[in-house]
Amino acid sequence: MIKRISRLFLEKIKGALPSLISILMGLLIGLLIMLISNPGQALMGFKTILLGGFTDGAKGAGEVLYYAAPLLMTGLSVGFAFKTGLFNIGASGQFIMGAFGAAYVGIKWTWLPAGLHCPVAVVAAMLLGGASALLPGLLKAYRNVNEVVSCIMTNYISVFLVNMLVVGTIYDSSKNQSLPIAKSAEMPKMGLELLFKGSSVNIGILLALLAAVATYIILNRTTFGYELKACGFNREASRYAGINTRRNLVLSMAISGVLAGLGGAILYLGGTGKHLVVVDVIPAEGFTGISIALLGLSNPLGIVLAALFISYITVGGFYLQMLNFPVQVVDMIIAAIIYFSAFVIFIQELAVYWRRRRQREEAKA
């Protein structure tokens, strides 16, 4: 029993090795950048990044959880699609559609009872997020249109559509943004404000963690999840086995969109005065989700850890400004981590290819 547990543990460590190597290399690149730009304060700045959210005690830890929640949702969105053989690069559009659904209900539907206002806003966000992912799913399933191309298109459609809807329904013209969310629609803190005093953390992080658990169960403990992954591994073999591949493709994209839409609700119902600003910019949370899914190897547990790590160093980066470093240093570190993550995976796959080729040649000999 002990040997089996040890073997499983070593396999997990081996699987996470590309991410661990990538994190180390990314941090070293960040240190090098700081040494070149400001050598006198480079080591102090690097220490600040490593301390991350703990720089400000419980408040900083709460901020890490607050920033991690929407990133975790977009990471789960992209990772879920990855597991089923799809590249959902449209998480940004689904995220902003979900954000509008949550904001609209949170502003307009004040007639709802206080206990229902927030849940209904969350459901609206999930529905709109899922609906915005249906088009790429349908195009992929019935016309074999590459989902990367269709998702890029729907990202822009979603951004401009949300801008138009905000201006037409919930617009504050004096500030070029949406009106404030009603207090009754804000996510409750459920005592987390006592644990992390002074932070913005709320129930959103708990919803995100529950979504991660639900995603894991769906993918690894249900027949539906098995079919989804089978379609991702080999669509033709799945069709031959009697699996409805078209239905599963559409459902996979829809579920991915629901997860991203929930991320939008978590961010904009957080009670921190967040508004939908009318600008022609695609939300960065969706693209960060791609990074998190890649770093977490599309495993729900890995995505949770990756989202917490990205949020952790991001919060640490806020304090870099006190040392005359731009916060963009953290963006460079994250970019380096993702680059090395993809590079290590590529080297691993290349090594597997050459080993199998050598084995085939030896078998023929």
Long-range pairs for 163-169: beta carbons < 8 A, 24 or more residues apart: 163/278, 163/279, 163/280, 165/100, 165/104, 166/100, 166/103, 166/276, 166/278, 167/278, 169/104, 169/108
Strand 171-172 relative to strand 177-178: parallel, antiparallel, unpaired?
antiparallel
Q: Domain residues for 330?
A: 20-38+325-365
My answer on whether 316 and 329 are in the same domain is no
How many domains, the chain? 2
195-214 residue pLDDT tens: 898 888 999 999 999 999 99
pLDDT band at 13 (very low <50, low <70, confident <90, very high): low
My answer on whether 312 and 359 are in the same domain is no
Please indicate, yes or no, if residue 269 is contained in any of the structural domains. Answer: yes
Please indicate, yes or no, if residue 52 is contained in any of the structural domains. Answer: no
My answer on whether 361 and 252 are in the same domain is no
Please indicate, yes or no, if residue 198 is contained in any of the structural domains. Answer: yes
What is the Cα–Cα distance from 263 to 284, expressed in whole angstroms? 12
**What pLDDT was estimated at residue 7?**
62
Please indicate, yes or no, if residue 43 is contained in any of the structural domains. Answer: no
Please indicate, yes or no, if residue 222 is contained in any of the structural domains. Answer: yes
What is the Cα–Cα distance from 175 to 302, expressed in whole angstroms? 39
The chain-wide mean pLDDT, for the chain, equals 89
DSSP 277: B
Angle, alpha carbons 28-30-31 (nearest 5°)? 65
My answer on whether 291 and 320 are in the same domain is yes
Give φ, ψ of 174 to 5 degrees: -70, -20
My answer on whether 229 and 334 are in the same domain is no
My answer on whether 171 and 310 are in the same domain is yes
Please give the model's pTM, rounded to 2 decimal places: 0.91
pLDDT band at 39 (very low <50, low <70, confident <90, very high): confident
341-353 residue pLDDT tens: 777 777 777 877 7
Amino acid at 98: G
Query: Domain of 305: which CATH number?
Result: 1.10.3470
pLDDT at 37 over 80: yes
**What pLDDT was estimated at residue 8?**
54
Give φ, ψ of 100 to 5 degrees: -65, -45
Q: Are 131 and 97 in contact (CB under 8 A)?
A: yes
Identify the helix (H) or strand (E) that includes residue 172: strand 171-172
My answer on whether 281 and 358 are in the same domain is no
My answer on whether 300 and 346 are in the same domain is no
My answer on whether 238 and 361 are in the same domain is no
DSSP 297-342: TT-HHHHHHHHHHHHHHHHHHHGGGGGT--THHHHHHHHHHHHHHH
Please indicate, yes or no, if residue 13 is contained in any of the structural domains. Answer: no
